[in-house]
């Protein structure tokens, strides 16, 4: 039997919460070969991301109507249906409930179907729908660990603004590869010359994307490549390169120079190659499997003119696009990541030529992976100095670094620091 959209969404959600699958990967795996129409695939994607980003809140709405604790899949089915009732104006409530009851019956028989039916009907008859929780942990479905860290770093007011902005749908951000390209329903980015922004749209299947005239890359991430000050002939190391967003952007500035694009995994190196081919820069990008903490051992001293360390990080700045990130963090992750980030910088710094430029970037908003790393690196590497970054949008700059949080320009949260090796 052909699997319908809601059943597909439920299966993906169970994969995420039951098997710890990444939402984007599970969506891709389940939708790639599915017989669903494009509209239904869009519906599944909206359901999955919606339920993931509002899981705690949805549970708060249905909890008073649970006379017994449902099995995990049945609880997720209730979340899925409550999400349609509360947040999807165009979906008729009756269709959402009827389909939930059918799924429950197929899955576990009539008794469970009756239970799901009773919970949902009681929820709809109550005033609960008009209520809103006050605490941010529930209202924004944000785990306490992250919430506490945000409040400590940003204070209550700005944390509230960040959380509120994460609730709004992401923009689609594009990078122009053909500088003259004009695309309907897009507007120029106010942050980067290379950028175009759209409120929505499936650009990955557009002619411009497939022929390499544009690519999909967040505006904040497009701020990185210009910091390398590439003239064209440089030998560049991109130490953590996959899937190649920044390697391919840097390659656009090169003529005779090359980028060595390093990453740990073969399947990720393939993604860089695919991206480079589509964007017509594969002659300037050499992929290599390797560990960025061992760059010095692999490449030796003073080998590169420029180095980019787009480090593995907690990715908290990406929560709007990847809402499941919030459930994957533990305190020890932040400490471990800082250690790796410093190890990578230590090793790569030795392979940079004198007077060379090294750029460090992350897609997180927490100090311990950003400013603290910069301070510790500079303290232990007196042969390096920080280069102050400037930008016409002066609010992007904090202590000489680009530091952008998601509420400022509705982009991902991002950090960029720039260093020079003394001559
Ligand atoms: C933030 S992502 C890089 C994104 C990429 N620069 C881009 O713009 O598309 C970090 C990457 O670092 C890789 N990575 C993690 N640890 C690494 C290590 N020790 N050495 C090399 N790459 C590593 C991960 O596989 C991941 O692809």
Q: How many CA atoms lie within 13 A of 273 on its CB side?
A: 10
| pLDDT, tens only, 46-91 | 999 999 999 999 999 999 999 999 999 999 999 999 999 999 999 8
2 has pLDDT over 80: no
What average pLDDT score do residues 356-362 get? 98
Confidence of residue 3 (pLDDT cuts 50, 70, 90): confident
Predicted confidence at residue 325, as pLDDT, reads 96
| pLDDT, tens only, 107-157 | 999 999 999 999 999 999 999 999 999 999 999 999 999 999 999 999 999
Residue 310 marked in a binding site: yes
Confidence of residue 410 (pLDDT cuts 50, 70, 90): very high
| pLDDT, tens only, 193-222 | 999 999 998 899 899 999 999 999 999 999
Buried b (16+ CB within 10 A) or exposed e, 395-421: ebbeeebbbbbbbbbbbbbbbbbbbbb
Residue 108 marked in a binding site: no
Predicted confidence at residue 365, as pLDDT, reads 98
Predicted confidence at residue 33, as pLDDT, reads 86
Nearest to 214 by CA among 191, 245, 242: 245
- ipTM for this model: 0.99
Among the listed residues 363, 374, 401, 416, the single catalytic one is 363
What average pLDDT score do residues 409-423 get? 97
Predicted confidence at residue 202, as pLDDT, reads 86
Return the bridge partners of 42, or none. none
- Is there a catalytic annotation at residue 363? yes
**Mean predicted lDDT score pLDDT of the chain:** 96
Q: How far is the CA of 244 from the centre of ligand 1 (A)?
A: 9
Confidence of residue 331 (pLDDT cuts 50, 70, 90): confident
* 264: CB partners within 8 A, 6+ apart: 289, 290, 291
| pLDDT, tens only, 269-285 | 999 999 999 999 999 99
1 has pLDDT over 70: no
Q: Under a CB-based contact definition with an 8 Å cutoff, are residues 187 and 208 in contact?
A: no
The CB of 341 under 6 Å from ligand 1? The reply is no
How far is it, in rounded angstroms, from Cα 191 to Cα 218?
11
Predicted confidence at residue 332, as pLDDT, reads 86
Predicted confidence at residue 322, as pLDDT, reads 96
Residue 383 marked in a binding site: no
Pairing outcome for strands 195-198 and 187-188: antiparallel
Q: How far is the CA of 311 from the centre of ligand 1 (A)?
A: 6
Q: Which domains does the chain have, with CATH numbers?
A: 5-132 (1.10.940.10), 137-166 (no CATH), 221-421 (3.40.50.150)
How far is it, in rounded angstroms, from Cα 26 to Cα 23?
5
Considering the chain, what percentage of its residues have pLDDT values greater than 90?
A: 96
The CB of 186 under 6 Å from ligand 1? The reply is no
pTM: 0.95
């Amino acid at each position: 039997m052909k699997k319908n959209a809601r059943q597909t969404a439920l299966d993906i959600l169970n994969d995420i919460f039951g098997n710890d699958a990444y939402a984007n990967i599970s969506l891709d795996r389940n939708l790639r070969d599915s017989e669903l129409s494009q509209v239904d695939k869009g519906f599944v994607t909206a359901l999955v991301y919606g339920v993931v980003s509002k899981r705690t809140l949805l549970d708060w709405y249905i909890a008073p109507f649970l006379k017994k604790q449902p099995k995990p899949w049945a609880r997720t089915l209730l979340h899925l249906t409550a999400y349609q009732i509360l947040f999807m104006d165009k979906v008729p409530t009756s269709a959402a409930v009827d389909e939930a009851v059918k799924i429950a019956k197929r899955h576990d028989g009539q008794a469970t179907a009756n239970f799901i039916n009773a919970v949902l009907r009681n929820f709809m008859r109550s005033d609960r729908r008009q209520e809103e929780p006050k605490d941010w942990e529930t209202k924004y479905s944000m785990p306490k660990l992250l919430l506490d860290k945000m409040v400590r770093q940003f204070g209550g007011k700005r944390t509230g603004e960040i959380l509120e902005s994460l609730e709004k749908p992401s923009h689609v951000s594009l990078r122009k590869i053909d500088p003259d390209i004009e695309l309907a329903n897009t507007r120029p980015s106010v942050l980067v010359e290379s950028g175009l922004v759209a409120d929505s749209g499936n650009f990955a299947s557009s002619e411009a994307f497939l022929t390499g005239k544009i690519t999909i890359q967040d505006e904040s991430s497009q701020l990185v490549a210009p910091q390398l000050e590439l003239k064209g002939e440089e030998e560049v190391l991109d130490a953590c390169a996959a899937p190649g967003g920044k390697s391919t952007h840097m390659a656009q500035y090169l003529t005779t120079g090359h980028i060595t694009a390093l990453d740990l995994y073969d399947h990720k190196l393939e993604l860089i190659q695919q991206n480079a081919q589509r964007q017509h820069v594969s002659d300037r990008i050499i992929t290599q499997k390797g560990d960025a903490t061992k760059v010095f051992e692999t490449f030796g001293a003073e080998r590169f003119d420029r180095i980019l360390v787009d480090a593995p990080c907690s990715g908290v700045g990406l929560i709007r696009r990847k809402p499941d990130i919030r459930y994957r963090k533990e305190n020890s992750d932040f400490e471990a990541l800082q250690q790796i980030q410093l190890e990578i910088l230590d090793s790569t710094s030795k392979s940079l030529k004198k007077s060379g430029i090294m750029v460090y970037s992350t897609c997180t908003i927490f100090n311990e992976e950003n400013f603290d790393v910069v301070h510790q690196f500079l303290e232990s590497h007196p042969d390096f100095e920080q280069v102050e970054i400037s930008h016409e949008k002066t609010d992007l700059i904090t202590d000489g670094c680009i530091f952008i949080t998601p509420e400022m320009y509705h982009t991902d949260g991002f950090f960029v620091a720039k260093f020079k090796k003394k001559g």
